[in-house]
Amino acid sequence: MIVPTIECDGVRLRVYRPDDLDAIVAGFADPLTQRFMPSLPVPFTRQHGVHFLRETVSEAFVEGGCAYAITDPATDRLLGGVGLERLVPARGQAELGYWVTPQARGRGVATAAVRALCGHAFAFGVQRLELLTHWENAASQRVALAAGFRREGVRRGAIPGRGGGRDDLLAYGRLADDPPGPTVRLLPDLPGGELTDGVVTLRPLTGDDLTFYTELHSTPDVVAASVPPVPPTPEEIRRRCAWAQAHWLNGDRADLVVQDAVHGSPAGTLGLFYQEPATAQAMIGYSMLPAFRGRGYQTRAVQLLTLWAFAETGIARLVAGTLPDNVSSQRVLEKAGFRREARLRSRLPGAHGRRSDDVQFALLAEDLVRDGARLDG
């Protein structure tokens, strides 16, 4: 079988060769590769690598798919692999997968390879490609979006997990007639990865924040102000931290940690929930550890977030709600420029089956402009 080499911007896709064995073994034995490819043997040995070269690659082509080596076009050194499987000719559909060596990550290698293989597949009549990835694999989700895939849903229990049970996978799709270029994101990354005014810093919530997040959401008054007012389970906390980047990339919410800008200590959280893209309205919510209250940190954090939201996203209106007796939270919003608009009766689930009113505040971009002009004057 003659397999064509695919030349593209930044990488070359070619057949695997015997001299790729060492790089394959090193790549498939890498802990991150193992984590998100749970079907790989542990440990991954040279014998497994030989089987991959002799059997797995050829089987991919025999079954109507493909398995290409991703290489550096200047040196022909192996950088990873990309391929198609689960081809359904009657539907013109296939599933795309890839892996990248640790040394090649963060260089756009995967994005270039995925774009190239998409173009190749569409040229040969494939009409729809799917890409599946774990919730926690934010790097893979970025590749999917950069290559023009759109997130379509969640495949529950899609594959056996490494530690038993089954893992959910996020499903991304791309059609042959989708517009070229990356998928537009509703919530872009923070400039430089954070926002700061020199006193507080906002950065994205990650899986490394588990201990802090557990402490914060075990604080009684934080739980009492939550919706519903019930402490999250350890698994819910793990998912909130580990899946935060996936939610941000999907554009439905941005979860941030509020830090002391001088010492870097996590003080609280601030979330932006983009629940109404059609009306350009989003909601914010926040919590603070008791030791950091009364310093103006939360007001500064809300101001930083609102400036970013109005300047860098399509959001035109921000709303926030508080319990009627949460005076401190209402002061934070008022100091940040929000205006009280309504009291919604029995909107929120409360403790012991009761319901609570919700005092609603809102902020528009023109409010900031008007207030700034008034202060300047």
Q: What is the mean pLDDT of each run of 10 residues along the chain (377 residues)?
A: 86 97 97 95 97 96 95 96 95 97 95 97 96 98 98 97 92 97 97 97 97 96 90 96 98 98 96 96 97 96 97 97 94 96 94 91 88 48
Q: What is the CATH number of domain 191-376?
A: 3.40.630.30
Looking at the domain covering 6-175, what would its CATH class be?
alpha beta
Spatial separation of the C-alpha atoms in residues 280 and 310, rounded to whole Å: 10
pLDDT for 372 equals: 59
Q: What angle do CA 184, 188, 190 make, to 5 degrees?
A: 165
Where does CATH 3.40.630.30 sit in the chain? 6-175, 191-376
pLDDT for 1 equals: 63
Q: How far is CA 39 from CA 35, 36, 42, in A?
A: 9, 9, 9
pLDDT for 88 equals: 94
pTM over 0.85: yes
Residues with Cβ within 8 Å of residue 234, at least 6 apart in sequence? 214
pLDDT for 9 equals: 86
pLDDT for 356 equals: 93
